[in-house]
Structure 1
Amino acid sequence: MSEALTSPTAPDRGVPQPDAQTIERLVSAAVAAPSMHNSQPWRFRYLPASRTVEIRAALERSLPAEDPTGRGLHLSVGAALFNLRVAVRVLGWEPVVRLLPHPAEPRLLASVRLGGPVRPATGPADTATFEAIWLRHSSRLPFTDEPVPARLRVDAVAAAHAEGVGLLLPDPDECRRLLGLTAEAETRNLSDAERARESRSWVRERDDTPFGVPPEALGNVDHEARVPLRDFVGMRAAGRPAPVAFEAHPQLAVLVSPGDRPADWLRAGQAMERVLLLATAAGVRSSLLHQAVEWPDLRWMLRDPGTGPGYVQMLIRLGYGPEGAASPRADASAVLER
């Protein structure tokens, strides 16, 4: 299911148009993707004449303090793009993807044309990936120390590679170093008034918005400080759950791209979601550690010089544990422009 980059062509003759319900189902799959603070920074438009779904950045839901370059926004849109590709394929079309298709329109980040019938026919792997879209969500709860199976680790590396992105699986010593850098980033985030205010603003305080993280999904704090998950509300917030014990040996995967431009970020987002869905289908939980990537000096230090050049885009924590609470998503109709 690798990305297909082509020039625009006329729609395949004889290929049926999707109806309105199918378009909403495609968009619903896309919006199930993860995004920073569940900001869901995307909008969709369907063009019947070319059977193309366009994905644009919703800049009103960007994070200027924590994501000033828009790198995290592109990762989020890349994850939504991967879900859309999966859904298009499972529903019977071959997805034809273009990244940044019109340079003069910078908000248009990607398009997916519904090409001819799927080649080859959809198989069990496609179906399992599609089903995982609706099950996947971040778990900010403690994991057990049960190791992630070696077969899944190998498959995760291959999944990222299929999108043109590297996935490194650090040993325990390197995991501790990476988590230490993440903890340093957390300290900085809590000390930076603008960043801390922005994080707090994305905690949902009412049920009439699908955007942001609900309080029940924030999770606990590791009383041993081994797993520095993002602290949205501050250490002394009233009603905060008591600290609990997290896994003694956190298992990380490091997403590394060869380049660091918007197209690279979109590819990294697709690779990230492909790995997350693979883990979900195997019953493995995940959460995303992005804090250190937000500080240029710490991001540089995340690199492992022994593995060659590359740009770290995300740390993924993997393991077994409780499902945790899911964050809501906007209805397809709310993000689908007519």
Structure 2
Amino acid sequence: MPITDRPVETVTSLVEDAVTAPSMHNAQPWRFVHRADTRSLALYGDPSRSLPASDPDGRGLHLGCGAALFNLRVSAAHHGWGTATELLPDPRDPWHLADVVLQEPGPAEPGTADLYPALRKRHTSRFPFSDERIPAEILDGLRGAALLEGCRLIVPGSWHSDTVLDLVRDAELFESADTALRKEIASWTRTGRAGEGPATEGIPSYAFGPRQYGVTAPARDFDALHDLPGRAVAVFEARPQIALLGTMDDSPADWLRAGQAMERVLLQATLDGVSASLMSQPLEWPELRSLTREPGSLTGFVHMLFRFGYGPRGTATPRRPAEEVLTVE
């Protein structure tokens, strides 16, 4: 469909693809504004969906919005459109995160359109993975995906991996002692009980995954405050395969770039048959976040931890419909 035909329908389709992105606790902290009779689409962060206990500086919010921005770029490329993207276009409005202008077909971004089949197959997996190691060539491809978005993906060696996993467990102890944080997490989980939030957002109980028998994998347990009856118990992999996504600097623009890199990595992993989950637990505590960085690395700031492996892909979690997140002016 040419851009000039039915532009609102075009933009709605792009937004429907964009919102398949992951976000912290599936809060979906984005909104889009399309100016009628133009090719422009603005992305805003939604402060009403911020997480003050888990994400006081809004870095996680920017990561989620960056992931949605990348999905929009993938959708546009798939349909044959170019995009011109400007991050943080209005210094007076910090919630105005990006402007995207649809362009006539031109030189394609490297590999972007090829990622489109993964948009609706990518799901966070909180299930056990096998002990099979991921081939080096696949890891190299994931590193390359991050570099295309100006970020670095670090696959840590044994000692660094052990350190990061210890920090995840330390963060879990911090979390268990923080009443406000625990309450916030509980407010974004959905178990079917009365008084919970809308079913179109948050983490539903079917996506919790099984309880771990022993604690080896760094999967966040969203059931800690609910203790659902009948939930399965499983043995997770003894040596989780993890990676760290980072940038040299730590500004809101870096967070948006990291969000785009995060999603590119996840979509590439999906195409490669690799399952993944995201871990932000130690990154939510400043005293632990700095320790996740490998000494001597060119990555100055870590923004996300990945757990990769072979196993169930996980299940789709709900999304708000496009009409709730898209405004046409």
Q: In the alignment, which residue of structure 1 is the partner of 2:53?
A: 65
Q: Give the drift of 1:202.
A: 0.4
Other structure's SS at 1:255 match: strand
Q: In the alignment, which residue of structure 2 is the partner of 1:295?
A: 285
Q: Give the drift of 1:236.
A: 7.2
Query: Counterparts in 2 of 1:169-248, with a 5 A limit?
Result: 169-206=155-192, 209-234=199-224, 237-239=227-229, 241-248=231-238
When normalised by structure 1's length, the TM-score is 0.91
Q: In the alignment, which residue of structure 2 is the partner of 1:160?
A: 146
Q: Give the drift of 1:323.
A: 2.4
Distance 1:18 1:86, change over 3 A: farther
Distance 1:45 1:235, change over 3 A: closer
Q: Give the drift of 1:127.
A: 4.0
Q: Distance in 2 between matches of 1:242 and 1:331?
A: 31
Q: Deviations over 1:275-333 (max 9, x none)?
A: 00000011110000100000001001101003245100000111110122221111111
Q: Give the drift of 1:200.
A: 0.6
Q: In the alignment, which residue of structure 1 is the partner of 2:133?
A: 147
Equivalent residue letter for 1:214: P
8 Å contact from structure 2 (residues 7, 37) kept in 1: no
Q: Distance in 2 between matches of 1:18 and 1:118?
A: 21
Aligned pair 1:96/2:84, yes or no?
A: yes
Q: In the alignment, which residue of structure 2 is the partner of 1:76?
A: 64
Q: In the alignment, which residue of structure 1 is the partner of 2:305?
A: 315
Q: In the alignment, which residue of structure 1 is the partner of 2:20?
A: 32
Q: Give the drift of 1:97.
A: 0.3
Q: In the alignment, which residue of structure 2 is the partner of 1:6?
A: none
Q: Unpaired segments of 5 or more residues in structure 1?
A: 1-13
Equivalent residue letter for 2:161: C
8 Å contact from structure 1 (residues 199, 233) kept in 2: no
Distance 1:55 1:219, change over 3 A: same
Q: Distance in 1 between matches of 2:179 and 2:230?
A: 20
Equivalent residue letter for 1:253: A
Q: In the alignment, which residue of structure 2 is the partner of 1:131?
A: 117
Query: Counterparts in 2 of 1:277-292, with a 5 A limit?
Result: 277-292=267-282
When normalised by structure 2's length, the TM-score is 0.93
8 Å contact from structure 2 (residues 77, 113) kept in 1: no
Q: Distance in 1 between matches of 2:113 and 2:40?
A: 22
Equivalent residue letter for 2:253: A
Aligned pair 1:55/2:55, yes or no?
A: no
Equivalent residue pairs, number = 323
8 Å contact from structure 2 (residues 289, 302) kept in 1: yes
Query: Counterparts in 2 of 1:248-259, with a 5 A limit?
Result: 248-259=238-249
Q: Distance in 1 between matches of 2:73 and 2:112?
A: 10
Percent identical across equivalent pairs? Answer: 44
CA RMSD of aligned residues (A): 1.9
Distance 1:63 1:246, change over 3 A: same
Q: Give the drift of 1:177.
A: 1.5
Q: In the alignment, which residue of structure 2 is the partner of 1:114?
A: 102
Q: Give the drift of 1:137.
A: 0.9
Distance 1:210 1:236, change over 3 A: closer
Q: Distance in 2 between matches of 1:89 and 1:158?
A: 19
Q: Give the drift of 1:173.
A: 3.0
Equivalent residue letter for 1:227: A
Q: Deviations over 1:146-188 (max 9, x none)?
A: 1112111111111111111111011233222111101110111
Q: Unpaired segments of 5 or more residues in structure 2?
A: none
8 Å contact from structure 1 (residues 88, 95) kept in 2: yes
Q: Give the drift of 1:241.
A: 2.3
